[in-house]
């Protein structure tokens, strides 16, 4: 299964320059459900948000004990889509 890593958009800066912080503690978002019932999950970068130009991610979920094929799919995805090399404009 493929789904977003978080359901909220990435943090933004207000017109005064203050950063809107999204605080995450422990496991949160869509992966919390999968983690609590024992399904393996891997998160991957999926580019930059079109609205904030900050990183966004996806997660892949597999059946219990299917870690090996899940990790191979993640490696293949990352090789085909090198989003992990992208930097937000503020860091260029």
| pLDDT tens figures, 37-78 | 889 999 999 998 888 888 888 999 999 999 999 999 999 999
Report CA dihedral (44, 49, 55, 61) to the nearest 10 degrees.
-20
pTM equals: 0.70
The first and second tokens of residue 2, run together, are 């493929």
List beta partners, residue 59: 3, 43
Q: What is the pLDDT of residue 45?
A: 93
Residue ranges covered by each domain of the chain: 41-87
Q: What is the pLDDT of residue 89?
A: 83
Which residues are within 8 A (CB) of 55 and not within 5 positions of it... i.e. 6 or more apart? 10, 45, 47, 48, 49, 83, 86, 88
């Amino acid at each position: 299964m493929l789904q977003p890593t978080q359901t909220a958009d990435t943090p933004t800066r207000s017109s005064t320059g203050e950063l809107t912080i999204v605080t995450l503690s422990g496991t949160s978002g869509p992966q919390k459900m999968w983690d609590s019932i024992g399904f393996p999950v891997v998160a991957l970068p999926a580019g930059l948000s079109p609205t904030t130009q900050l990183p966004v991610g996806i997660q892949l979920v597999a059946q219990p004990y299917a870690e090996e094929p899940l990790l191979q799919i993640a490696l293949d995805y990352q090789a085909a889509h090198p989003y992990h090399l992208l930097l937000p404009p503020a860091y260029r």
